[in-house]
Amino acid sequence: MNIVVRPFRLAQLVSVFVCVLVAHFGLPAASSAQTGAVQIEPDTMIDLWPGAAPGAPNPLPKEEIVFRNNPFNLIDRAAHQVAKPNLSLFRPKKANGAAILIIPGGGYSWVVVDKEGYEGAKRFAAEGYQVYVLRYRLPHQGWAAGPDTPLQDAQRAMRVIRARAAQDGIDANKVVVMGFSAGGHVAGSLALKFDQAIAPPLDSIDRLSAKPNLAVLMYPVVTMTEPFRHPKSRENIIGLTPTPAAIAAYSLETIVRADAPPLFILHAGDDASVPVENALMLYEAARRGKVAVTLHLFEKGGHGFGLRGIAGTPLALWPDLVLKWAQDHGFPKP
């Protein structure tokens, strides 16, 4: 169930409407500053699967959208207990024929909607990209695929984008995956496990390639090993006491392959949530594996910044760095 609070002209109406939602649905109220913010919404939403997603638990998770406070007075939503994975499509005014699949973070506890999803989609759509934001299922909520559940959605998302290439006016061989934090782990898994058979094909879409042409990993969760793992992500994927085999299977630095797409990795040295060693470990593994890889490290930035609070700082360069890197790999000029 999706509950969306839209700004009204009168502050009194906003307050009444939010109070009704809180009383009826039990959702946390958005702050008064948030209710005055501009809410970004997609042009359309696309279901990933025909009918229910595969391997559904009984009962299904009860999906909800939670509003969160933030210091930037911006709308900040997160999807909890995702039951119906989907793509939010942002169409550019002047298309360049390329596409980006954005996979937001959330520590595998929820899926961020605005900060690492819709805001970036709006930014890159302004550059001519057709942008799809993935809302994926979580690995610890009873789905049959277990720890591979998010990857199952990511593979399907890439195939759905390719199946819609003619309809959406994109080149099926010009699709970037861009993941943030735990979404970076999903994106990295897609880049390195694109051909892993997680479930039997359902339809002709599942016969298409799930391999992204490029992969952008923003402050990504990479390793499940001590001492550099992100505790909550690891717990949600492989549990509190994982086996050595599980740790190795879900640590991206251990599964690098020579036919992986080119990688772009970005991280801040002062990241207190996902240590910068995650980026360094994947970079070194990619170099050893002869995979084209670019690494950008910033002295400051912390974790989870997306496009927020970076104006006037070196981090403000990151979208242009991505665009120019993609251009170097044959994508349209920014």
For the stretch 201-236, pLDDT in tens is 999 999 999 999 999 999 999 999 999 999 999 999
- The CA–CA distances, whole Å, from 89 to 99, 116, 124, 278, 287 equal 10, 14, 12, 30, 34
Mean pLDDT for the stretch of residues 62-81: 94
pLDDT of 164 strictly over 50: yes
Mean pLDDT for the stretch of residues 40-52: 96
Mean pLDDT for the stretch of residues 241-258: 98
Rounded to whole angstroms, the Cα distance separating 59 from 137 reads 14
Task: List Cβ neighbours of 276 (8 Å cut-off, separation of 6 or more).
Answer: 267, 268, 269, 297
**Hey, CA dihedral for 296, 284, 156, 247, is it positive or negative?**
negative
Mean pLDDT for the stretch of residues 153-165: 98
The angle at the Cα of 38, spanning 34 to 43, to the nearest 5 degrees, equals: 130
Share of the chain above pLDDT 90, in %: 87
Per-residue confidence at 333, pLDDT binned at 50, 70, 90?
Answer: confident
pLDDT of 20 strictly over 80: no
Q: Dig out the tokens for 242 from the structure.
A: 């994982």
Nearest to 181 by CA among 112, 236, 114, 239: 112
Nearest to 191 by CA among 83, 124, 285: 285
Beta bridge partners of 200: none
Share of the chain above pLDDT 70, in %: 89
pLDDT of 60 strictly over 80: yes
**Hey, CA dihedral for 290, 100, 103, 157, is it positive or negative?**
negative
Mean pLDDT for the stretch of residues 297-321: 97
pLDDT of 237 strictly over 80: yes
pLDDT of 44 strictly over 90: yes
**DSSP characters over 132-147:** EEEE---TTSS-TTGG
pLDDT score at 35: 54
pLDDT of 191 strictly over 50: yes
pLDDT score at 57: 95
Per-residue confidence at 36, pLDDT binned at 50, 70, 90?
Answer: low
Mean pLDDT for the stretch of residues 187-201: 95
pLDDT score at 200: 86
pLDDT score at 5: 34
pLDDT score at 38: 87
Mean pLDDT for the stretch of residues 307-311: 96
pLDDT score at 199: 83
More confident residue, 264 or 23: 264
pLDDT of 104 strictly over 90: yes
Per-residue confidence at 8, pLDDT binned at 50, 70, 90?
Answer: very low
Per-residue confidence at 6, pLDDT binned at 50, 70, 90?
Answer: very low
Task: List Cβ neighbours of 195 (8 Å cut-off, separation of 6 or more).
Answer: 210, 211
CATH numbers and ranges of domains, the chain: 1-39 (no CATH), 42-328 (3.40.50.1820)
Per-residue confidence at 292, pLDDT binned at 50, 70, 90?
Answer: very high
- Indicate the average pLDDT of the chain: 90
